[in-house]
Chain A
Amino acid sequence: MAQIFPVWVNDIPKRLQLAIILVVTAIIFGFWYFGSPEYLEVGYAPEQPIPYSHSFHAGELGIDCQYCHGSAWNSAVAAIPSTETCMNCHEYIGLDLETTQPLLDSWESGDPIEWVRVHDIPDHAYFNHSIHINTGIGCATCHGRIDRMDVVMKKESMSMGWCLDCHNDPAPHLRPVEEVTNMAWEPPDDHNEFAQMMIEKRNIDAPVYCNTCHR
Chain B
Amino acid sequence: MGNQPQKTYWRSLNELAQNEEYKKFAEREFPEQATELTDGVSRRNFLQIMGASVALAGLTSCRKPVQKILPYTRQPEHLVPGIPQYYASSIPFRGNLAGVVIQTHEGRPTKIEGNELHPESKGRTNSQQQASILELYDQDRSRNVRNNGSDNSWDNFVAFCNDHFSDTDRTVAFLSEANSSPTLARLRNDALERFPNARWVTFEPFNNESVYSGIESVFGRRLRPLYHFDHTRITLSLDDDFMQESDNNVSYIGDFAESRKMLSPDDEPSRLYVAESNYSLTGSNADHRLRIKSSEIPPFAFALASELSRKINGLDAYSGYTNAFNDHSWIRVLAEELVAHQGNSIVTAGAEHDASVHATVAAINLALGNAGETVEYLEVPHLDATDQNEAFHTLVTDMNAGTIDTIVMIGTNPIFTAPADLNFGEALKNVGTQLHLSHYFDETSKVSTWHVNRAQFLETWGDGYSWSGVRSVIQPVIQPLFGGKNEIEFLNAVIHGTDESAYALVRETWRNVFPDDFESHWNRVLHDGLQTDSRFDVADVYMVDGSAEIITTYLNESTAAFSDGIELVLKPDPKLHDGRFANNGWLQELPDPMSKITWDNVALISPNTAEQIGVPPARKFGETRQQVIRIQTNSGRQTEIAAWVLPGHADRSITLYTGYGRQQVGRVADQTGVNTFPLRTSSNRLVQQNIEVSLAGRTYEIACTQDHHSLEDRPIIREADLQQYRDHPTFAQDEVYIPGTHGGEREHPLSLFSDKELPAHEPQWGMTIDLNSCVGCGVCTIACQAENNIPVIGKREVRRGREMHWIRTDRYFSGNERENPKVMHQPVPCMHCDNAPCEQVCPVAATTQSDDGLNQMAYNRCIGTRYCSNNCPYKVRRFNFFNYSKEYLTSGDDPEIIQMAMNPDVTIRFRGVMEKCTYCVQRISRAKIETKKDTGDSIKPKDGTVKTACQQACPANAIQFGDISDRDSRVSLEKSKDRNYMMLEELNVRPRTSYLAKIRNPNLDI
Interface residues, chain A, CB within 8 Å of chain B?
Answer: 40-41, 44, 46, 71, 74-77, 79-85, 106-107, 110-117, 120, 122-124, 126, 128, 130-131, 134-135, 201-203, 205, 207, 209-212, 214-215
Contacts and interface: CB of A to CB of B under 8 A. Distances in A.
A66 to B, nearest CB: 13
B513 interface: no
B932 A80 contact: no
A105 to B, nearest CB: 10
A156 to B, nearest CB: 14
Given A112-B71, A113-B71, A211-B856, A77 B32 contact: yes
B186 interface: no
A143 to B, nearest CB: 15
Interface stretch (B73-81, B599-607, B685-693): B73-81
Interface in B724-763: 759, 761-762
Contact of A131 (B761, B924, B929): B929
Interface string B752-790: 000000010110000000000000000000000000000
Given A77-B33, A210-B861, A215-B922, A84 B74 contact: yes
B550 interface: no
Contacts, number: 153
Interface of B: 24, 27-28, 31-33, 35-36, 48-49, 52, 61, 63-64, 66-75, 80-83, 759, 761-762, 848-852, 854, 856-861, 905-908, 918, 921-922, 924-925, 929, 932-933, 936-939
A40 B61 CA distance: 11
A79 B72 CA distance: 10
A124 to B, nearest CB: 4
B73 A83 contact: yes
A34 B939 CA distance: 40
A34 to B, nearest CB: 12
A110 B74 contact: yes
B30 to A, nearest CB: 10
Contacts of A79: 33, 35, 71, 80-82
Contact of B67 (A82, A117, A130, A205): A117
- Among B82, B848, B938, the most chain A Cβ lie within 10 Å of the Cβ of B82
Contacts of B73: 82-84, 106-107, 110-113
Contact of B761 (A40, A128, A201, A205): A205
Contacts of B24: 123
B829 to A, nearest CB: 16
Query: Which 3 pairs from chain A and chain B are nearest by CB?
Result: A123-B28, A75-B82, A82-B72
B74 A215 contact: no
B83 A123 contact: no
Contact of B68 (A115, A124, A128, A215): A115
B69 A131 contact: no
A15 B403 CA distance: 105
B25 to A, nearest CB: 9
Contacts of B851: 207, 209
14 contacts: A46-B61, A71-B80, A79-B80, A111-B48, A112-B70, A112-B73, A116-B66, A123-B28, A131-B929, A202-B936, A205-B759, A211-B921, A215-B906, A215-B925
Contact of B72 (A46, A74, A83, A124): A83
Nearest to A114: B68
- A41, A122, A209: most-surrounded residue (chain B CB, <10 A): A209
Contacts of A80: 33, 69, 71
Given A134-B932, A207-B851, A209-B849, 4 more contacts: A84-B75, A107-B73, A117-B31, A131-B933
A211 B854 contact: yes
Contacts of B32: 77
Nearest to A112: B70
A131 B68 CA distance: 25
Contacts of A116: 66-69
Nearest to B76: A82
Contacts of A113: 70-71, 73
Contacts of B61: 44, 46
Nearest to A214: B858
Contacts of A76: 82-83
Given A46-B61, A84-B73, A134-B933, A214 B82 contact: no
A71 B71 CA distance: 13
B961 to A, nearest CB: 16
A41 B858 CA distance: 23
B764 to A, nearest CB: 13
Contact of B848 (A84, A106, A123, A209): A209
Contacts of B905: 126, 215
A99 B164 CA distance: 56
A122 B908 CA distance: 12
Contacts of B71: 79-83, 112-113, 115
B485 to A, nearest CB: 25
Contact of A115 (B69, B72, B849, B854): B69
A209 B856 contact: yes
A57 B850 CA distance: 43
Given A46-B66, A111-B48, A209-B850, A124 B74 contact: no
A124 B81 contact: no
A46 B924 CA distance: 36
Contact of B33 (A110, A117, A203, A207): A117
B906 A83 contact: no
B790 to A, nearest CB: 14
B929 A124 contact: no
Contacts of A215: 905-907, 918, 921-922, 925
Contacts of B64: 40, 120
B925 A211 contact: yes
Contacts of A107: 73
B410 to A, nearest CB: 36
A85 B75 CA distance: 9
Nearest to B762: A207
A77 B27 contact: no
B81 A123 contact: no
A79 B71 CA distance: 7
Nearest to B929: A131
Given A120-B67, A130-B929, A211-B921, A83 B82 contact: no
Contact of A75 (B80, B859, B924): B80
A123 B33 CA distance: 12
B84 to A, nearest CB: 10
B74 A82 contact: yes
A123 B906 CA distance: 10
A209 B756 CA distance: 15
Nearest to A131: B929
Nearest to B854: A211
Contacts of A201: 937
